[in-house]
A and B are shown apart, each in its own frame.
Chain A
């Protein structure tokens, strides 16, 4: 009887909340469309592959040998020659204007040195302003030049130590397979956090929260009624973006979809909890927005979404254990790429359950205290 009462009152609020969302069709559209746009943009843009690096060539030698070196460079997928000249000043200009990232200068006498066996040399110049791209491009370029040299030998020698490399879980080393599952977590978090924190503060700003308080609703019912709709929207968003990842990007899913769903529920609970907490701390929507941002940015940056946690200083590595997104990312990537199950993901699962329930309970108690 009592439980039925609870249920009907909570459902009433949920219904009211959905009516409000429906009345604002622009918001509804945004809630459904924005995550998909974000996933597609993130999915294509967040790539740390280094290919098609723009290259400028200054060839002083102009021989068959120098041309085939340039061909070796462009024959790979890694470099695109976008300009050539015989004046080094043009190369400097191109680097200064950020038109190219690499410049190669082949000195006069390159072919002669190569033929005589005295050892030829070329100069490679890099624009280091993007340190990541420059570092990886340098590695590729040096390998290609060296490989070119070995191929010109009349009796090619094989190096004494032969490296045979394999990459597990992601044999082509496609960064998209790693990034897109990460984006799923990130985008859902973003949406859920902003919606919850702002929507609750909006009611406070408009004074309608007071009306709800004087109604016979208990604080628990009010909180449940307010968070359930956002939780459902979050889940819907999650299903949408996961479908886009599977169908549009064709990311292979090795593990269990069911496990992923389970983890998502607890992850969303923690997101709702944080959103609710923010709403208790802010009195205006602007404040709520800025607080959300202040909390979201470090979570995004430290959770291992774009920057590997293992490269951070030890203190930060420990601190990131407090971020639900970090555990969710490990779970979702483990399920997508490694086909991992509970037997290897249980620590992350446990953390997520504790955090999801804990944060939401803490937020709810603070929220009801503020109401009383």
Chain B
């Protein structure tokens, strides 16, 4: 620890790493391609928004009233009438085969009950196997049934609803899933870079036997770790910029905060992640093992336990406790805060310190793991 950092030696290690990266142009290309590829996939193909719901209708009543109700479903924009069926048994095959997602059954006394003021029954049978989609479908169905109810009530000129709620959504007014994904993707991509590029770099030296050569040179372990880190830091930050620009220009994701603040905090988060990758690499000493461990330790938690897509609030308590140890969880607050909420340092102060702490710990771990091997 006493030896001062020698910038020349540090940069020499960086240069060696860059030369090695350049000799492997395909890996380098993938490092730039993968983020863009992921972004395009998420931007164009993947969404949780449910529409075009395949609907089957069994109308026993076949009256003006029942047709009116069916029309309300069709004109809602969410449902597509795929099948009109005659027998309840047909619905079974349609749902099991996945040809329709929901079946509506209107009983024969529907219009008679509506006319006489008795509750008229509407049966909805939904394919529950995909619980998320089913919940959304049932939500739409309820809303449409409610709408129809109030229309029938209003036609009879009854009274106003006792309590109305006025909902407003902030930060992502249209509830677009892209706006939720892109800022989160920035965090996930950095973890991928760390897992893919750095986790192999020290293990590779061990496998190829170049570690002994490195050990014989006067470089200190801090210089090796920081020197190896620098090029990847550059790649990672470049990826952050590219992903942000594509997100904002191509996918219209709002960017309401300060880009400089995002870059600064990304820098620390990236430094920590890369340090962690180097640490894994130094401990594993085998590339095969390093890839598996880094997937388990860096990428999966960032993807699953950061709140990127899955809400932390519904996880069981022990798993929730684990999420506090996932740096991506805090970084996600940063990216979403800066992209969508437009908040600054005053709100993100705690997250900022955590990022700096993560960087220090990540690099310290890498340096420590390295010492053992060289000494």
Binding site for B on A (CB under 8 A): 24, 26-27, 30, 34, 37-38, 41-42, 44-54, 69, 80, 95-98, 101, 114, 117, 119-136, 138-139, 141-143, 145-146, 148-150, 152-153, 157-171, 173-175, 177-178, 190, 194-195, 198-199, 202, 205-206, 282, 284-287, 289-291, 293-294, 297-298, 301-302, 306-308, 310-313, 316, 330, 333, 337-338, 340, 344
| Pair A150/B120 contact, Cβ less than 8 Å | no
Bitwise, B40-64 to A at CB < 8 A (1) or not (0) is: 0110111111111010000000000
| Pair A167/B134 contact, Cβ less than 8 Å | yes
B183: chain A residues at CB < 8 Å are 129
| Pair A49/B161 contact, Cβ less than 8 Å | no
Which of these, B96, B132, B139, B146, contacts A159 with CB under 8 Å?
A: B146
Which of these, B48, B207, B313, contacts A53 with CB under 8 Å?
A: B313
A130: chain B residues at CB < 8 Å are 180, 307, 311
Question: Given A133-B311, A160-B149 in contact, is the A313-B45 Cβ separation under 8 Å?
Answer: yes
The segment from B3-11, B244-252, B334-342, B355-363 that touches chain A is B334-342
| Pair B192/A289 contact, Cβ less than 8 Å | no
**Interface flag for B219 (CB, 8 Å):** no
Which of these, A120, A125, A344, contacts B170 with CB under 8 Å?
A: A125
Question: Given A124-B167, A286-B200, A298-B41 in contact, is the A45-B123 Cβ separation under 8 Å?
Answer: no
| Pair A146/B166 contact, Cβ less than 8 Å | no
| Pair A307/B48 contact, Cβ less than 8 Å | yes
Question: Given A121-B163, A148-B163 in contact, is the A308-B130 Cβ separation under 8 Å?
Answer: yes
A129: chain B residues at CB < 8 Å are 171-172, 179-180, 183, 336, 340-341
Q: List 16 A-B contacts (CB under 8 A).
A: A117-B159, A121-B164, A128-B172, A129-B172, A159-B149, A163-B124, A165-B138, A165-B141, A194-B295, A202-B287, A289-B196, A291-B30, A293-B192, A307-B48, A310-B52, A313-B44
Which of these, B24, B141, B289, contacts A27 with CB under 8 Å?
A: B289
B284: chain A residues at CB < 8 Å are 26
Question: Given A136-B139, A285-B287 in contact, is the A34-B292 Cβ separation under 8 Å?
Answer: yes
B200: chain A residues at CB < 8 Å are 285-286, 289
B33: chain A residues at CB < 8 Å are 294
Q: Which residue of B lies closest to A147 (CB)?
A: B163
Which of these, A152, A163, A308, contacts B133 with CB under 8 Å?
A: A308
Number of interface residues, chain B, beta carbon within 8 A: 115
A141: chain B residues at CB < 8 Å are 165, 167
**Interface flag for B153 (CB, 8 Å):** yes
Closest CB in chain B relative to A180 CB, distance in Å? 12
Bitwise, B307-328 to A at CB < 8 A (1) or not (0) is: 1011101111001000000000
**Interface flag for B142 (CB, 8 Å):** yes
Considering the chains assembled together, what is the distance between the CA atoms of A126 and B168 in angstroms? 6
Question: Given A130-B311, A146-B165 in contact, is the A289-B134 Cβ separation under 8 Å?
Answer: no
**Interface flag for B345 (CB, 8 Å):** no
Closest CB in chain B relative to A185 CB, distance in Å? 15
Considering the chains assembled together, what is the distance between the CA atoms of A195 and B177 in angstroms? 34
Closest CB in chain B relative to A40 CB, distance in Å? 9
Bitwise, B86-125 to A at CB < 8 A (1) or not (0) is: 0000000001111001000000000000100101111111
| Pair A128/B171 contact, Cβ less than 8 Å | yes
Question: Given A50-B311, A175-B131, A311-B48 in contact, is the A128-B169 Cβ separation under 8 Å?
Answer: yes
Minimum-distance CB pairs A-B, first 9:
A167-B128, A149-B163, A128-B172, A149-B162, A48-B132, A170-B128, A175-B131, A159-B149, A128-B169
A344: chain B residues at CB < 8 Å are 96-97
B369: chain A residues at CB < 8 Å are none
**Interface flag for B258 (CB, 8 Å):** no
**Interface flag for B126 (CB, 8 Å):** yes
| Pair A308/B50 contact, Cβ less than 8 Å | yes
Which of these, A51, A131, A289, contacts B180 with CB under 8 Å?
A: A131
Considering the chains assembled together, what is the distance between the CA atoms of A313 and B135 in angstroms? 21
Considering the chains assembled together, what is the distance between the CA atoms of A354 and B42 in angstroms? 29
| Pair A124/B166 contact, Cβ less than 8 Å | yes
Which of these, B129, B197, B314, B333, contacts A50 with CB under 8 Å?
A: B314
Considering the chains assembled together, what is the distance between the CA atoms of A294 and B51 in angstroms? 29
A298: chain B residues at CB < 8 Å are 37, 41
Closest CB in chain A relative to B154 CB, distance in Å? 11
A165: chain B residues at CB < 8 Å are 123-126, 138, 141-142
B300: chain A residues at CB < 8 Å are 38, 41
B54: chain A residues at CB < 8 Å are 310
| Pair B131/A170 contact, Cβ less than 8 Å | yes
Bitwise, B14-49 to A at CB < 8 A (1) or not (0) is: 000000000010110011011001100110111111
Considering the chains assembled together, what is the distance between the CA atoms of A84 and B223 in angstroms? 52
B315: chain A residues at CB < 8 Å are 44-45, 47
Considering the chains assembled together, what is the distance between the CA atoms of A145 and B24 in angstroms? 60
Closest CB in chain B relative to A331 CB, distance in Å? 12
| Pair B310/A48 contact, Cβ less than 8 Å | yes
**Interface flag for B291 (CB, 8 Å):** yes
Q: Which residue of B lies closest to A26 (CB)?
A: B289
| Pair B163/A138 contact, Cβ less than 8 Å | no
| Pair B287/A286 contact, Cβ less than 8 Å | yes
| Pair B27/A287 contact, Cβ less than 8 Å | yes
Question: Given A37-B296, A41-B305, A168-B128 in contact, is the A162-B288 Cβ separation under 8 Å?
Answer: no
B138: chain A residues at CB < 8 Å are 165, 167
